């Protein structure tokens, strides 16, 4: 039986066709002040919801009494309250595997770019300042053999560790909710406390999900523990780092630099002090932004939703307690 699905992100034609073959689809390319009321109205008789980058909270869900499944085109679930969804009997699904390698590529690109001052030196050339053989004022720092600390050894953290250990001969420290024997065996990663990691690593890469526990986990106290001249990389969520404290640590020279794909507020304000610093590489949240990966995420999310609405969801389920076991 065809049901109603509300799609709130533009997707490729083949992904839209997947959904339309099974259900009736109402599509919004994005949600803004002009169409939010129409979006909420369409939810009143919708069974499924699919999209990304929009806060779906009680103010939205209260208008969706028939909603049974939400599929987010992302691995992050910070736009949702899974506990509230479970109380409402709504299953939440995400796309955890599709973007792992692409996001890890972005993280390592930031490690290299900050260490070797790639963006700063490219601007140096474009500005016509390369008029003689370079000196120490243009030097960067090595990556090969330096110690990498990974905060959060999930899928993406493990993929970053693989690149670091096998590709660049970097000793890997990691902090996680629990030890990861696979990473330890494959990459020689060493489990340690966050304090030890911060005090020992030349590069610190943040890959934890944003939760109430991780919000603001890297603040002034943690930044003060980092080795002088260390570099901080964030490919997770901006709110995990206290941005004011980070700015201070960069301005006073305690940190060599920062590579940031995410910010507390996105898009980041053009007048942010972070954007004035030559030792900050700032990207517009491009962690998974390749054509192949974004398309793969959309296909995965569409299949997740179709499976959930047909009662066959077995993978990528965030709150499995909602699912009713099938009769045996």
For residues 50 and 23, the answer to whether their CB atoms sit within 8 Å is no
132 is annotated as an active-site residue: no
What percentage of the chain carries pLDDT values higher than 90?
98
In this structure, are 77 and 136 located in the same domain?
Answer: no
pLDDT digits (tens, 9 = 90+) for 188-238: 999 999 999 999 999 999 999 999 999 999 999 999 999 999 999 999 999
Please, what's the b/e burial string for 276-297 (b: 16 or more CB within 10 A of its CB; e: otherwise)?
ebebbbbbebebbebeebbebb
Looking at the fold, whether 136 and 163 belong to one and the same domain comes out as yes
Q: Is residue 170 part of a domain?
A: yes
Report the alpha-carbon angle 222-225-115, nearest 5: 95
From 227, 256, 285, 294, the catalytic residue: 285
pLDDT at 255: 98
Do the domain assignments include residue 328?
no
- Domain extent, residue 170, equals 100-282
Q: What are the distances in angstroms from CA 112 to CA 95, 109, 213, 245? A: 27, 5, 29, 23
- State the CATH number of the domain containing residue 86: 3.40.50.720
The number of folded domains in the chain is 2
Whether residues 162 and 184 share a domain: the answer is yes
Instruction: State the catalytic residue, choosing from 66, 265, 266, 315.
Output: 266
Cβ-contact 260, 234 below 8 angstroms = yes
In a shared domain, residues 165 and 251: yes
User: What does each C-alpha distance from 306 to 79, 117, 120, 131 come to in angstroms?
Assistant: 21, 46, 47, 60
Same domain? For 104 and 92 the reply is no
Instruction: Looking at the structure, tell me whether residues 45 and 152 fall in a common domain.
Output: no
Do 204 and 132 share a domain, yes or no?
A: yes
**Co-location of 86 and 106 in the same domain:** no
Q: State whether 33 and 124 are in the same domain.
A: no
Q: Are residues 219 and 123 in the same domain?
A: yes
Are 113 and 166 contained in the same domain?
Answer: yes
Residue among 23, 117, 163, 237 flagged as catalytic: 237
Is 136 one of the catalytic residues?
no
The pTM score is 0.92
Answer yes or no: is 134 within a domain.
yes
Q: Is residue 122 part of a domain?
A: yes
10-residue mean pLDDT series, the chain (328 residues): 95 98 96 95 98 96 98 95 97 96 98 98 97 96 98 98 98 97 97 98 97 96 97 98 98 97 96 97 97 98 98 95 66
Is 213 labeled as catalytic in the residue annotation? no
- Shared domain for 150 and 260, answered yes or no, is yes
Let me know if residue 327 belongs to a domain. no
């Amino acid at each position: 039986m065809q049901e109603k699905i509300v799609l709130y992100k533009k997707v490729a034609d083949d992904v839209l066709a997947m959904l339309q073959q099974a259900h009736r689809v109402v599509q919004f390319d994005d949600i803004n002040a002009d169409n939010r009321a129409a979006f909420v109205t369409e939810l009143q008789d919708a069974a499924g919801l699919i999209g990304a980058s929009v806060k779906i909270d009680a103010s939205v869900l209260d208008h969706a009494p028939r909603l049974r499944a939400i599929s987010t085109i992302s691995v992050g679930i910070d736009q949702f309250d899974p506990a509230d969804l479970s109380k409402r009997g709504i299953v939440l699904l995400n796309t955890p595997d599709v973007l792992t390698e692409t996001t890890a590529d972005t993280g390592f690109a930031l490690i290299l770019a900050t260490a070797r001052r790639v963006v700063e030196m490219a601007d140096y050339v474009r500005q016509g300042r390369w008029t003689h053989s370079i000196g120490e004022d243009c030097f960067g720092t090595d990556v090969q053999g330096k110690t990498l600390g990974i905060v959060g050894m999930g899928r993406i953290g493990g993929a970053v560790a693989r690149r670091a250990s096998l590709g660049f001969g970097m000793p890997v420290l990691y902090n996680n909710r629990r030890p990861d024997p696979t990473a330890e065996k494959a990459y020689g990663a060493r489990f340690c406390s966050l304090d030890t990691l911060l005090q020992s690593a030349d590069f610190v890469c943040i890959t934890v999900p944003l939760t109430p526990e991780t919000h603001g986990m890297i603040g002034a106290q943690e930044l003060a523990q980092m080795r002088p001249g260390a570099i901080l990389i964030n490919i997770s969520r901006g709110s995990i780092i206290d941005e004011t404290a980070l700015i201070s640590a960069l301005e006073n020279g305690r940190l060599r630099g920062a590579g940031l794909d995410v910010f507390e507020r996105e898009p980041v304000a053009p007048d942010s002090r972070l954007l004035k610093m030559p030792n900050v590489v700032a990207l517009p949240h491009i962690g998974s932004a390749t054509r192949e990966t974004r398309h793969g995420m959309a296909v995965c999310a569409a299949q997740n939703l179709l499976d959930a609405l047909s009662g066959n969801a077995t993978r990528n389920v965030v709150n499995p307690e909602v699912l009713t076991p099938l009769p045996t």
